[in-house]
C-alpha cells in the first residue's frame, strides 16, 4: 500500500509547489505545505483568539501636558470625569457614589483611561520586537526556566496535556532544564491564550512552534542535521498532527456530549467557585464549537473523527516504520510532538477506550512512545514534583 | 402672626426641597393663601403645592472623546416607575475600545428619602496603564442606605465576576500572573459623617468616612478584609483664607493563604492623591508596572485663598481658588511576615511627600480641576514623578 502523505490525509491542502527531486522526493510527488501552515515566527506570536474582532493595539503617541517632565514614560493626563463619576475602580481608596440617585456604580461610565503611552521601547514595532528577541536570544538558557500549564490532577484536559507533554519532551531532547509549574489560570496568563508557555529570563513564549524557534535562536536545535527536503517533510507531518490529532482531541473533549458532561465540564471549572465554573466551561465550549464549525468539523460524527485519527496514525506509523525516530538517528521536534499526543491518548482514561484503541493498533507507535518515555523521562522521576511524569500507570482523567 | 407666617414659609420651603429631592418633579411651586371656602378655619392658611412631573421615560445620548478613545453613551431613565419615586436607570456605553453597561433600580422609603435601597447590575471595563492591566467586571450589587442620628450608613452586598488581563504584551510577569477570572462576593459597610458646607472647596466642617469590606464568606474565591477611612477638616481663617487638613488610610488583609489580588489593593500617587507623582505610580512595582499595596496612608495640608487681585469677583472669579499644599503618603505590602509594629514601622519609613501651589476651579458642586506646580520629595527608586506642572480633574482629592 503506498504510503499516505500528509497532503492526502489533510483535506484542502493543495496547489503546493513541487519539491526538487532527490532520494526522498521519489516517494512524494506533491510537496511543501502552504507557507501559511508553517509555525509562526516568535516575533509575531499568534494573537489570542478573541470573540470579536479587535483593531490592532498600537499604543498612541504620548500626550504630554505642558511642563510634565520628559521621563521616558509620559504619564497620562487624568481623564476628565463626567459628573458623579470616579477615576478608578475599587482598588483605589474608598468609593464614593452619588447618594440618593439610582446610580450605576460610579466607575461604570467614566471615560476609560488613556491608552498606554509608549516608553522605553514599550511601543515596539514588530521589527523592534524581533530585534529585542534577537538580543534575548544571545543570553544562555537560565537555570530557572519554567513551563506553565494547568493543574495536573484536577484541571488539565487531554489536548492541553498533550501539548504540554510535547513541549516538555522537546526540551528534554534538547537537554534544557525546565521546571513545570501548575497554575489554575495558566491559560489566561499565556500571551496567546494557549498552554503551555515557558518563562525564560524575561521572555514568555507559548506553543510548540514559537518555542522551537525561540530555542533555535538560542543555539539549540534538533533539526539542524536535516536537509531541506526532510525539514519540509517534518513540517508537513507536524501540521498533520496539529490539524488531525489535536483537532480530534478537541472534538472529543468539547463536542461529544457524554465526554463533555462527565469529564470536561467538571475538570475545566474545578478551580473556580459556583457559578463561575459553569460560566467559564460553557464559554469555552461555545468558543471551541464555533471553531469546529469554522473548520468544518461540526458536522462530523464521532465515528468519522475516529476514522480520521486512524488515518493519521496510519500515516505516522508508515513514516516511522522500524526506525527508532522519525528521522532515523536523532529525535526531532516531530518526535516530541507525536510522543506528546500519542502518549497522552494512550494513558488517559476517557468515557470510552476507542481513541486509545486506534493508536494501539499500530505497534510501532506504542513502542515509540515507550522508548521515548524510558529514555527521556524515566531518569528524571526522582527529582521532580512538577514534571508531567508520564509514568507507566494509566493516569485517569476521570474525576 | 408674623412669626407664624415665617414658620409656615420656612416649613413649606423645606417641604419643597424634599419634594424636589425625590427627583420626580420638574418643578414645585408653593402657594400660601388665607383659607377660603366653606370649611375655612379662621386665621387659617392654605398651602398649595403645584407640581409638574417629569416625563415617564427620559433618554439621553452623549458622545465622549477622551485620550485615544471615543465612546457613545446612551441612557434611559424611568424617574418614577411605580409611583413612589422608584427609579430605574439603564446606561450603555459603547466605545472604540471597551463596552460597559449598567441597570439600576432605586427605591426610597416613602416619606423618608434618606432610607433607600438599590440594586445594580453592571458590566464595566477599565484599562489601567500604570499597571498594564485590563479589568472587566460583571456584577450585581444591592445596597441599603439609612441614617442613624447624624451619620449615614450603607450596607452592601456585591457579587462580581472579575476578569483581569494584560494590557500589552510587554506587561511584567507579576501582572501576567494575576490574569484570569475570579469571583468576589463581599459584604461591606460604610459610615459617613459630613458636616461640611459644600462637597467641593468647603469652608468649614469636617468629613469622616469609614468603609469596611469582608469578602469570601458569602461565596466566591476572594477572601479578604479591607478597611479604609477618609478624614477631612476645614476651618476658615481670617480674610477668606481656608485651611484644610485631610488624612486617608487603608489596609487590606487577605484571609487564608491566597495572596491579595492586584485589583483589590490600594494605589497611591497622582494629581488626586499625592501630587507631584504620576498617576498611581508610588510603591511596589515590577518592570515599570505598579502593583499596589496592602496598606497605605496619605495626608495633606492645604491653604485656599482667593485669586490674587480677585479678578471677576462676585461672578466667574469666585469659582477659582489658589491653593498651597503639602502632601505626604506611603504605601507598602504586608506580606513579609512582620507583626503590626513592623507594619507601622514600614509605613513610617521612606515617606513620599511633596509641596507646591496651584489654581483650583470648581465645577458645579461635584468636581474640581486643578493646575499645580509641584515639588516631589522623598522619591524612592521605582516611583515615577511628575515635577513641575501637573493637571488634575476629579471629584475626590487628597
Helix/strand/coil for B26: strand
CB-nearest to A81 from B219, B229, B394 is B394
Q: Is pLDDT of A314 > 50?
A: yes
Residues of B in contact with A49 (CB under 8 A): none
Cross-chain residue pair A104–B88, CB shorter than 8 Å: no
Residues of A in contact with B68 (CB under 8 A): 60, 114-115
CB-nearest to A273 from B219, B228, B271 is B219
Q: Over range A288-306, report the average pLDDT.
A: 91
> Could you please report the per-residue DSSP string of A346-391?
HHEE-S-SHHHHHHHT-HHHHHHHHHHIIIIIGGGSTT-SSS----
Mutate to test the interface with B, among A104, A144, A190 (most CBs of B within 10 A): A104
Q: How far is A68 from chain B (nearest CA, A)?
A: 6
Cross-chain residue pair B129–A84, CB shorter than 8 Å: no
pLDDT category of residue B257 using cuts at 50, 70 and 90 = confident
The more confident residue out of A143 and B247 is B247
Q: What is the pLDDT of residues B121-156, one digit of tens each?
A: 999 998 898 999 999 999 999 999 999 998 999 999
Q: Over range B232-250, report the average pLDDT.
A: 93
Q: Is pLDDT of A42 > 60?
A: no
Cross-chain residue pair A91–B364, CB shorter than 8 Å: no
Write down the pLDDT at residue A109.
42
Mutate to test the interface with A, among B124, B139, B296 (most CBs of A within 10 A): B124
Q: How far apart are CA A255 and CA A298, in angstroms?
A: 8
Which chain A residue's Cα is nearest to B278?
A75
Lowest mean pLDDT among A2-6, A99-103, B49-53, B333-337: A99-103
Cross-strand bridge partners of residue A396: A349
DSSP A260: I
Q: How far apart are CA B224 and CA B213, in angstroms?
A: 8
Q: How far apart are CA B261 and CA A89, in angstroms?
A: 13
Write down the pLDDT at residue A39.
41
Residues of A in contact with B264 (CB under 8 A): 90-91
Q: How far apart are CA A197 and CA A195, in angstroms?
A: 5
A380 vs B: CB within 8 A: no
Cross-chain residue pair A78–B389, CB shorter than 8 Å: no
Q: How far apart are CA A268 and CA A278, in angstroms?
A: 9
A184 vs B: CB within 8 A: yes
Can you list the pairs that A301-304 forms with residues at least 24 positions away whose Cβ atoms lie under 8 Å?
A: A302/A252, A302/A256, A302/A354
Cross-strand bridge partners of residue B226: B213, B252
DSSP B290: E
Q: Tell me which residues of chain A, numbers 150 to 179, contact chain B at a CB-CB cutoff of 8 Å.
A: none
Q: Is pLDDT of A242 > 60?
A: yes
All three cell numbers of B146, joined, read 439609612
Helices (DSSP H) in chain B: which residue ranges? 2-21, 173-177, 340-348
Write down the pLDDT at residue A379.
63
Write down the pLDDT at residue B127.
87
Write down the pLDDT at residue A29.
37
Nearest to B398 by CA among B319, B331, B316: B331
Q: How far is A70 from chain B (nearest CA, A)?
A: 9
| Burial of A112 per CB tally in 10 Å (0-12, 13-18, 19+) | buried
Helix/strand/coil for A186: helix
Q: How far is A349 from chain B (nearest CA, A)?
A: 28
Mutate to test the interface with B, among A56, A75, A280 (most CBs of B within 10 A): A75
DSSP A184: T
> Could you please report the per-residue DSSP string of B91-146?
EEEEESS-EEEEEEEEEEETTEEEEEEEEEEEEEEEEETTTTEEEEEEEEEEEEEE
Mutate to test the interface with B, among A108, A115, A148, A282 (most CBs of B within 10 A): A108
Q: Is pLDDT of A26 > 60?
A: no
Q: How far apart are CA B255 and CA B226, in angstroms?
A: 10
Residues of B in contact with A111 (CB under 8 A): 64, 66, 69, 71
Q: How far apart are CA A288 and CA A301, in angstroms?
A: 16
Question: What is the enclosing helix (H) or strand (E) of B25?
Answer: strand B25-34
Q: Over range A327-341, report the average pLDDT.
A: 89
Which chain A residue's Cα is nearest to B133?
A116
pLDDT category of residue A41 using cuts at 50, 70 and 90 = very low
Write down the pLDDT at residue B6.
87
Write down the pLDDT at residue A380.
56
CB-nearest to B179 from A63, A105, A185 is A185
Q: How far is A348 from chain B (nearest CA, A)?
A: 27
Cross-chain residue pair B89–A73, CB shorter than 8 Å: no
Nearest to B88 by CA among B23, B146, B172, B185: B23
Cross-chain residue pair B220–A112, CB shorter than 8 Å: no
Q: What is the pLDDT of residues B51-69, one digit of tens each?
A: 898 888 999 999 988 766 7
Q: Over range B166-193, report the average pLDDT.
A: 93
Residues of A in contact with B77 (CB under 8 A): 102
Write down the pLDDT at residue B342.
81
Q: What is the pLDDT of residues B358-396, one digit of tens each?
A: 999 998 888 889 999 999 998 988 899 988 999 998 888
Q: How far is B324 from chain A (nearest CA, A)?
A: 19
The more confident residue out of B65 and B223 is B223
All three cell numbers of A63, joined, read 500626550
Cross-chain residue pair A108–B100, CB shorter than 8 Å: yes
The more confident residue out of B85 and B194 is B194
Q: Is pLDDT of B324 > 80?
A: yes
Cross-chain residue pair A188–B179, CB shorter than 8 Å: yes
Cross-chain residue pair A274–B219, CB shorter than 8 Å: yes
The more confident residue out of B55 and B246 is B246
Mutate to test the interface with A, among B67, B88, B146, B248 (most CBs of A within 10 A): B67
Q: How far is A377 from chain B (nearest CA, A)?
A: 28
Residues of B in contact with A119 (CB under 8 A): 288
Does the predicted interface ipTM exceed a cut of 0.85? no
**Which are the contacts of B36, defined by CB distance < 8 A and separation ≥ 6?**
B46
User: What is the average pLDDT value for chain B, to the nearest integer?
Assistant: 89
Q: How far is B170 from chain A (nearest CA, A)?
A: 7
Write down the pLDDT at residue A73.
44
Residues of A in contact with B262 (CB under 8 A): 91
Q: How far apart are CA B370 and CA B270, in angstroms?
A: 12
Q: Is pLDDT of A61 > 70?
A: no
Q: How far is B1 from chain A (nearest CA, A)?
A: 37
Which chain A residue's Cα is nearest to B277?
A75
Amino acid at each position: 500500500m503506498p504510503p499516505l502523505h500528509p497532503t492526502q490525509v489533510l483535506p484542502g491542502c493543495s496547489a503546493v509547489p513541487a519539491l526538487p527531486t532527490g532520494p526522498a522526493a521519489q516517494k512524494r510527488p506533491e510537496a511543501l505545505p502552504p507557507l501559511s501552515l508553517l509555525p509562526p515566527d516568535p516575533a509575531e506570536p499568534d494573537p489570542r483568539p478573541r470573540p470579536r474582532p479587535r483593531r490592532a493595539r498600537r499604543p498612541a503617541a504620548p500626550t504630554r501636558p505642558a511642563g510634565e517632565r520628559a521621563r521616558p514614560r509620559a504619564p497620562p493626563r487624568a481623564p476628565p470625569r463626567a459628573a458623579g463619576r470616579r477615576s478608578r475602580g475599587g482598588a483605589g481608596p474608598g468609593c464614593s457614589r452619588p447618594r440618593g440617585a439610582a446610580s450605576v456604580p460610579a466607575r461604570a461610565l467614566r471615560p476609560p483611561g488613556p491608552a498606554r503611552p509608549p516608553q522605553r521601547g514599550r511601543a515596539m514595532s514588530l521589527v523592534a520586537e524581533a530585534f529585542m528577541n534577537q538580543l534575548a536570544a544571545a543570553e544562555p538558557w537560565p537555570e530557572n526556566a519554567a513551563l506553565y500549564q494547568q493543574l495536573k490532577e484536577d484541571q488539565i484536559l487531554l489536548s492541553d496535556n498533550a501539548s504540554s507533554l510535547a513541549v516538555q519532551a522537546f526540551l528534554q531532547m534538547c537537554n534544557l532544564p525546565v521546571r513545570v509549574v501548575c497554575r489554575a489560570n495558566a491559560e489566561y496568563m499565556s500571551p496567546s491564550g494557549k498552554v503551555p508557555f515557558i518563562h525564560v529570563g524575561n521572555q514568555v513564549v507559548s506553543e510548540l512552534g514559537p518555542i522551537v524557534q525561540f530555542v533555535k535562536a538560542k543555539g539549540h536545535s534538533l533539526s539542524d542535521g536535516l536537509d531541506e527536503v526532510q525539514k519540509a517533510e517534518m513540517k508537513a507531518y507536524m501540521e498533520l498532527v496539529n490539524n488531525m490529532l489535536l483537532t480530534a482531541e478537541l472534538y472529543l473533549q468539547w463536542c461529544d456530549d457524554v465526554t463533555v458532561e462527565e469529564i470536561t465540564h467538571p475538570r475545566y471549572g474545578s478551580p473556580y467557585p459556583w457559578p463561575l465554573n459553569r460560566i467559564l466551561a460553557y464559554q469555552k465550549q461555545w468558543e471551541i464549537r464555533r471553531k469546529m464549525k469554522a473548520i468544518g468539523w461540526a458536522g462530523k460524527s464521532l465515528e468519522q473523527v475516529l476514522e480520521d485519527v486512524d488515518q493519521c496514525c496510519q500515516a505516522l506509523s508508515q513514516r516511522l516504520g522500524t526506525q527508532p525516530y522519525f528521522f532515523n538517528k536523532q529525535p526531532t521536534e516531530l518526535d516530541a510532538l507525536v510522543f506528546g499526543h500519542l502518549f497522552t491518548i494512550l494513558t488517559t482514561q476517557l468515557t470510552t477506550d476507542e481513541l486509545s484503541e486506534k493508536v494501539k493498533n499500530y505497534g510501532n507507535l506504542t513502542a515509540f512512545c515507550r522508548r521515548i518515555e524510558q529514555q527521556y523521562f524515566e531518569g528524571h522521576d526522582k527529582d521532580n514534583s512538577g514534571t508531567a511524569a508520564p509514568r507507566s500507570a494509566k493516569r485517569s482523567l476521570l474525576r | 402672626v408674623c412669626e407664624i407666617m415665617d414658620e409656615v414659609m420656612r416649613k413649606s420651603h423645606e417641604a419643597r426641597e424634599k419634594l424636589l429631592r425625590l427627583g420626580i418633579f420638574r418643578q414645585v411651586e408653593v402657594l400660601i393663601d388665607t383659607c377660603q371656602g366653606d370649611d375655612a378655619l379662621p386665621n387659617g392658611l392654605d398651602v398649595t403645592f403645584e407640581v409638574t412631573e417629569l416625563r415617564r421615560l427620559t433618554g439621553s445620548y452623549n458622545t465622549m472623546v477622551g485620550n485615544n478613545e471615543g465612546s457613545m453613551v446612551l441612557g434611559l431613565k424611568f424617574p418614577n416607575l411605580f409611583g413612589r419615586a422608584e427609579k430605574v436607570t439603564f446606561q450603555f456605553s459603547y466605545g472604540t475600545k471597551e463596552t460597559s453597561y449598567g441597570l439600576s433600580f432605586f427605591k426610597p422609603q416613602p416619606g423618608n428619602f434618606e432610607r433607600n435601597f438599590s440594586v445594580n447590575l453592571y458590566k464595566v471595563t477599565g484599562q489601567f496603564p500604570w499597571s498594564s492591566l485590563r479589568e472587566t467586571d460583571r456584577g450585581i450589587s444591592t445596597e441599603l442606605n439609612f441614617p442613624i442620628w447624624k451619620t449615614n450608613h450603607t450596607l452592601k452586598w456585591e457579587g462580581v465576576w472579575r476578569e483581569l488581563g494584560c494590557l500589552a504584551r510587554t506587561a511584567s510577569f507579576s501582572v501576567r500572573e494575576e490574569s484570569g477570572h475570579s469571583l468576589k462576593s463581599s459584604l461591606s459597610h460604610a459610615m459617613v459623617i459630613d458636616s461640611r458646607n459644600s462637597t467641593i472647596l468647603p469652608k468649614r466642617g469636617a468629613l469622616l468616612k469609614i468603609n469596611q469590606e469582608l469578602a469570601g464568606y458569602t461565596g466566591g474565591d476572594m477572601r479578604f478584609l479591607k478597611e479604609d477611612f477618609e478624614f477631612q477638616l476645614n476651618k476658615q481663617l481670617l480674610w477668606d483664607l481656608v485651611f484644610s487638613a485631610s488624612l486617608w488610610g487603608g489596609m487590606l488583609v487577605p484571609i487564608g493563604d491566597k495572596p491579595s489580588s492586584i485589583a483589590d489593593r490600594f494605589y497611591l500617587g497622582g494629581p488626586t492623591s499625592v501630587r507631584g507623582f504620576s498617576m498611581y505610580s508610588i510603591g511596589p512595582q515590577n518592570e515599570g508596572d505598579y502593583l499596589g499595596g496592602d496598606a497605605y496612608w496619605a495626608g495633606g495640608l492645604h491653604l485656599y485663598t482667593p485669586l490674587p487681585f480677585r479678578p471677576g469677583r462676585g461672578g466667574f472669579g469666585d469659582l477659582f481658588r489658589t491653593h498651597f499644599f503639602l502632601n505626604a503618603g506611603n504605601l507598602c505590602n504586608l506580606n513579609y511576615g512582620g507583626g503590626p509594629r513592623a507594619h507601622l514601622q514600614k509605613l513610617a519609613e521612606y515617606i513620599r511627600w511633596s509641596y507646591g501651589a496651584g489654581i483650583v476651579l470648581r465645577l458645579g458642586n461635584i468636581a474640581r480641576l486643578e493646575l499645580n506646580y509641584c515639588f516631589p520629595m522623598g522619591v524612592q527608586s521605582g516611583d515615577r514623578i511628575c515635577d513641575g506642572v501637573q493637571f488634575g480633574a476629579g471629584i475626590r482629592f487628597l
